[in-house]
Structure 1
């Protein structure tokens, strides 16, 4: 299975699944609470027999639990769905989440693409409102747009705490898969701390994103930029990517989706709203441009430095154009993507050991990382 998911615009194929502009992020994989609807009507009968009453209570117990969970789902949907919008861009369709009462909407950068003007369908009355780009940050596949006119009753979502997200938590995904606005599915948090990379094909940003939330979400065109929500009605992530299975010809790998964690969403959105752009990315960099090189067997074997920024991290450590990076802190580096994934786990200012080849000889250098 390809561990480097990707998403692109709607109606295009993602690296991981689908969408160059949009990706659904709906969760599947848990039993449908509604399947117990018939038994939920089961209750104590009119029989005077103690055995009958006992049996009725026993039968009602699982039914009551299902009913309680169903009520929780419905409460969350009523709370959050009005804060999820549909975004129409020139290249396709995506989703977004209302960030504040001023009309700011947070979404994926691949949803907005290169556009600066959009049509947004808000949940209040299904009214279509025009919106403009505030700024996009493709390095983290996030963007903020702003409604040109704030409609009455616009409801900002409530954003949760990434430190409280745990594997096994039930989550709901909300968005506009395939243009089906206000759609909701359910699943669980499957894993935390995943590092994934998007393809640039089909409108993807090519970003490598760390600390992603893996969920049993079905990522389809139109759901990118929507909301991954816990049962406390809090947004815990922005559904962005889905995995593909090379053995299935690059088609979707069911039940493997990824969402940008809410901590990064808030960090990026707050900076864009305050400064008009991201001023502190928190992302480490070597300050180089490079390309993947292959060995005699035509297998990826490292990253050749095409250029080294003067005064940057690599330059200060003595690296130069022509060097081939093969490792970072003991982790093999064979491609540009693997180098980006290795850097995604680090922070600006940290010191790392870079292993590289120069004139066929292996060397190492201590590098103080810069910032993207």
Structure 2
């Protein structure tokens, strides 16, 4: 994946209907009644009209304050010839970003919002399963400001948010929108039908997420980072062009969980993600329709191994969820937790079998 491109989520169809309601105050100056009544109505209307710019001004001031407070914590990251964004995590120079921004790189150039000087940074750890990574500045400049991360449980649909990053290489850019949905599970398909990267509990937003925004900040009006922008939707019915107003961010709770483990242990020790312990790929039937997930390899001692699942088996269901593709299986697992008991239905040598499985951890 080219890190300068924000990851794209393929959607089969998307129809967005936006309704804008305009509220207008009016006074019926031609209605019957005394002149004083007419003047009172006019005065009330004028007061209401005067209040509108004041309210707009308050919101504008809120925007400007958030930008002033948070933008210094958002950096531009150059990984080879590709550009992405990152968020300053602490005052020790740790920066959290997307795994697909750092790619296979080990060293990076970082530019802060208030300086054109390039800083150098080194990879601490990349965790592609959650598309998160942490890098560390080799030298911490004075005045480096860590971002404040919000509570994911308080993120609500309709909440106003700002996306900050370096879209198309334009550093320190800001776009505005709302939280469109929460709890989305989205997948970026692997190549050749291989394992997909599936991320649960994503925050959907209408704030523009463009190439280069990956790894930046999705911020509420309290100046708190509530997510890391990661995916932008595309619509294949229009030639895989961008689906405007549909972007996704990794929630702050997961960002903090992963980043804290990486900084403390140098790796992720507790992902909280359920796993079968297999390597699989999507296979198709004679009609070229997805027919299930072929087990390519089984991790010794993993959940599938303990349940008797073997390489060559074709998994078709996890619990009550059909899994015709590796993406479908990944999304079904994303809804479960390690240690949870479920069932796996698979085919072996033409025979359909169902076994109980205690899920492991990814």
TM bracket, shorter-chain basis? 0.7 to 0.9
The Cα of 1:281 is off from its aligned counterpart by: 1.2
1:180 is the counterpart of 2:170: yes
Q: Which whole-Å CA distance do the structure 1 matches of 2:93 and 2:112 have between them?
A: 11
1:16 is the counterpart of 2:9: yes
Q: Which whole-Å CA distance do the structure 1 matches of 2:74 and 2:6 have between them?
A: 24
The Cα of 1:192 is off from its aligned counterpart by: 0.7
Partner residue in 2 for 1:332: 322
1:260 to 1:14, Cα distance in 2 relative to 1, 3 A: closer
Partner residue in 2 for 1:349: 339
SS in 1 for 2:227: strand
SS in 2 for 1:217: coil
1:91 to 1:133, Cα distance in 2 relative to 1, 3 A: same
The Cα of 1:16 is off from its aligned counterpart by: 2.8
2:252 aligns with one of 262, 274, 277: 262
Q: Over residues 139-188 of structure 1, what are the superposed CA-to-partner deviations in whole Å (9 max), with x where a residue is unaligned?
A: 10000001111111100000000000011100000000001111011101
1:147 is the counterpart of 2:140: no
1:347 to 1:91, Cα distance in 2 relative to 1, 3 A: farther
Of 331-340 and 305-314, deviating more is: 305-314
The Cα of 1:288 is off from its aligned counterpart by: 1.1
Asked if 2 retains the 8 angstrom alpha-carbon contact of 1:352 and 1:369, the reply is yes
Partner residue in 2 for 1:164: 154
Q: Which whole-Å CA distance do the structure 2 matches of 1:70 and 1:171 have between them?
A: 13
SS in 1 for 2:149: coil
Q: Which whole-Å CA distance do the structure 2 matches of 1:279 and 1:111 have between them?
A: 22
Asked if 1 retains the 8 angstrom alpha-carbon contact of 2:161 and 2:207, the reply is no
SS in 2 for 1:16: strand
Q: Which whole-Å CA distance do the structure 2 matches of 1:55 and 1:336 have between them?
A: 61
Partner residue in 2 for 1:198: 188
Q: Over residues 256-287 of structure 1, what are the superposed CA-to-partner deviations in whole Å (9 max), with x where a residue is unaligned?
A: 10000001100110001001111111111111
Q: Which whole-Å CA distance do the structure 1 matches of 2:84 and 2:329 have between them?
A: 30
SS in 2 for 1:366: strand
Asked if 2 retains the 8 angstrom alpha-carbon contact of 1:104 and 1:147, the reply is yes
Asked if 1 retains the 8 angstrom alpha-carbon contact of 2:162 and 2:220, the reply is yes
**1:98-109 → structure 2 map (5 Å cutoff):** 98-109=88-99
Partner residue in 1 for 2:122: 132
Which has the larger Rg?
2
Asked if 2 retains the 8 angstrom alpha-carbon contact of 1:219 and 1:242, the reply is yes
Asked if 2 retains the 8 angstrom alpha-carbon contact of 1:29 and 1:216, the reply is no
Of 319-328 and 108-117, deviating more is: 319-328
SS in 1 for 2:75: strand
Partner residue in 1 for 2:26: none
Q: Over residues 187-244 of structure 1, what are the superposed CA-to-partner deviations in whole Å (9 max), with x where a residue is unaligned?
A: 010111111112456xxx9421000001113222111000000011000000000111
1:247 aligns with one of 234, 237, 244: 237
1:141 to 1:13, Cα distance in 2 relative to 1, 3 A: closer
Partner residue in 1 for 2:29: none
Unpaired runs of 5+ residues, structure 1, are 1-7, 18-27, 32-48
1:59 is the counterpart of 2:52: no
Of 120-129 and 93-102, deviating more is: 120-129
The Cα of 1:30 is off from its aligned counterpart by: 9.5
Question: What is the total number of aligned residue pairs between the two structures?
Answer: 335
Q: Which whole-Å CA distance do the structure 1 matches of 2:209 and 2:49 have between them?
A: 37
**Higher relative contact order, chain-length normalized (CA < 8 Å, sep 6+):** 1
1:69 aligns with one of 59, 64, 86: 59
1:165 to 1:363, Cα distance in 2 relative to 1, 3 A: same
Q: Which whole-Å CA distance do the structure 2 matches of 1:30 and 1:261 have between them?
A: 28
Task: Please give the root-mean-square deviation of Cα atoms over the aligned residues, in Å.
Answer: 2.1
1:316 aligns with one of 306, 315, 322: 306
Q: Which whole-Å CA distance do the structure 2 matches of 1:71 and 1:240 have between them?
A: 28
Asked if 1 retains the 8 angstrom alpha-carbon contact of 2:6 and 2:232, the reply is no
